[in-house]
Structure 1
Amino acid sequence: MAIDIDWARAEFARFLELTDLIRPQSPPGVTVMGSSKLSNRGSQADIVASAQVVEQILDRVQPRWRTDVPDDRNKRVNRWYQHREAVQRADVALQRDAEVREKLGDDAPQLSAATMHPWVWEGARALWRSGHFREAVTAAARKVNAETQNKVSRRDAGETGLFQSLFSKDAPKAGQPRLRLMDDDGSDTFRSVHRGATAFAEGCFAAIRNPNSHEDGLPELPEHEALEQLAAFSVLARWVDTAVLTT
């Protein structure tokens, strides 16, 4: 689902207004000598409530804002400094992303990890935000495997062996349910789809998950390559999630 840009920008504007620094007015009839301390325009309760929404928008627009935006500058002046700068950056991105990509000569569609299947992004999110992309992909793979086990109520098999069994073209047996991506009409298409799903799942775990997990000393994955790997597991997760369970 696409972001409601007008709504998101309105939330940003409210947060910036609440966290703006002002000099409190003196009570009527009271004169304060010297400069008084600056404080946020909004109450702490209102700011925290606004931040709860704003952080979720930032996670969609700029998933790495917690590490990319400095969090120590001017913290003593305004504790919401990092949030404010992240909001300002994200607001510009919402306004001008399409324009910037067009002017730079690349207006191709963009892929966001946050729009992938929830199993994948939920598994990867925490590690992704801290820049641990290879570990994030591994965590996403584990999440997809675990959710698949949950759907079919099996703990005796996992990863490649599990998916080979689930997408098998054979009829289900006791303790060996199947996942069907289409009705078994005896057609070549049915056989092709499930043979392909089996091979795809095997490739995801054998060629992506296993090297990421077992090879010590591998350099960190570039973010765009990790995103491609997440996308592969997102495809697999959607197949599993939408497949019909037969027992």
Structure 2
Amino acid sequence: MGPQRAAHFLDLTALYRKPDPPGIVTFTSRLSNRGPEADIVASAHVVEQILDRVLPRWRTEVDDSENAEVNRWIQHREAAQRADAALLRDVEVRSRLGDDAPQLSAGSMHPWVWDGARALSGSGHFRGSGHFREAVTAAARKVNAEAQNKIGRRDVGETKLFQRAFSLEAPKPDQPRLRLMEDDGGDTFRSVHRGAMAFAEGCYAAIRNPNSHEDGLPELPEHEALEQLAAFSLLARWVHAATVVTA
């Protein structure tokens, strides 16, 4: 979809110089676009989203100093040409290497996680934000807050919250439980909830705590941050789907 959208935008914004009226010679550097302005504006809305993903810093890295005088879409055109080449090259590399494995998409993560993470970027886009540890921490906080809201508890949080929420003990008047399946007294029920409890503890002890408390740690690589967000996304889905059981 990306290459086709970029190519369509490039067709619409193809530049040409309008011929002078008969008997009149004009001296101007301004160029016109082949496509209707309304179509260009509509296409640009989609193309900008592609550019923000493929070339996160295109607005500052692609020179637009002459745009106003020559054509308002020059910066977009150059960025679209770069993105088009990058997308086509990526497709070619995948084809040659036989690498058609599925890729992790941040946008497909649970909204509690993705909305919290991308808010750390001023542009609203995760890629190129340079705040990956902060993004993971924000996502962890959001999952914690939503879990607290779901079971109506503000007195505990994070590790202790999930230890008590997924506890195998029966609920008490002030301690509701989260249940991922009906308690039939079987091994699967116990295994699922012990696993969810341990998984949540690992997320907060091994991911959230170091990210939020160790100022000296280097910034996370983007792929590692996505993996950490995926862990919290899974936890978020469990919490979201769970049934609240009260005494």
- TM-score class normalised by the smaller sequence: 0.7 to 0.9
Q: Name the count of aligned residue pairs.
A: 237
Report the counterpart of residue 71 of structure 1 in structure 2: 61
Greater Cα shift, 193-202 or 97-106: 97-106
Counterpart amino acid of residue 223 in structure 2: H
Report the counterpart of residue 13 of structure 1 in structure 2: 7
Unpaired runs of 5+ in structure 2?
none
2:94 corresponds, among 81, 89, 101, to 101
- Residue 33, structure 1, aligned to residue 26, structure 2: yes
Preserved contact between residue 51 and residue 58 of structure 2 (Cα < 8 Å): no
C-alpha distance in 2 between matches for 1:147 and 1:56: 29
How far does residue 67 in structure 1 lie from its aligned partner after superposition?
A: 2.4
Greater Cα shift, 49-58 or 123-132: 49-58
Counterpart amino acid of residue 66 in structure 2: R
1:87-132 per-residue CA deviation (whole Å, 9 max, x = no partner) reads 4454456556454135346544322222222222222124333122
- Could you say what the CA RMSD is over the residues aligned between the two structures, in angstroms? 3.0
1:164-211 per-residue CA deviation (whole Å, 9 max, x = no partner) reads 222122233334332211111111111111111011111111111111
C-alpha distance in 2 between matches for 1:58 and 1:195: 44
- Residue 22, structure 1, aligned to residue 16, structure 2: yes
- Residue 122, structure 1, aligned to residue 115, structure 2: yes
Identity rate of aligned residues, in percent?
Answer: 70
Preserved contact between residue 132 and residue 225 of structure 2 (Cα < 8 Å): yes
C-alpha distance in 2 between matches for 1:156 and 1:66: 41
Counterpart amino acid of residue 66 in structure 1: P
Report the counterpart of residue 151 of structure 1 in structure 2: 150
How far does residue 82 in structure 1 lie from its aligned partner after superposition?
A: 5.1
Greater Cα shift, 122-131 or 71-80: 71-80
Greater Cα shift, 188-197 or 78-87: 78-87
Counterpart amino acid of residue 46 in structure 2: V
Preserved contact between residue 12 and residue 35 of structure 2 (Cα < 8 Å): yes
Unpaired runs of 5+ in structure 1?
none
Distance change >3 Å, CA 37–CA 86, structure 1 → 2: closer
C-alpha distance in 1 between matches for 2:149 and 2:184: 27
C-alpha distance in 2 between matches for 1:86 and 1:175: 57
- Residue 51, structure 1, aligned to residue 41, structure 2: no
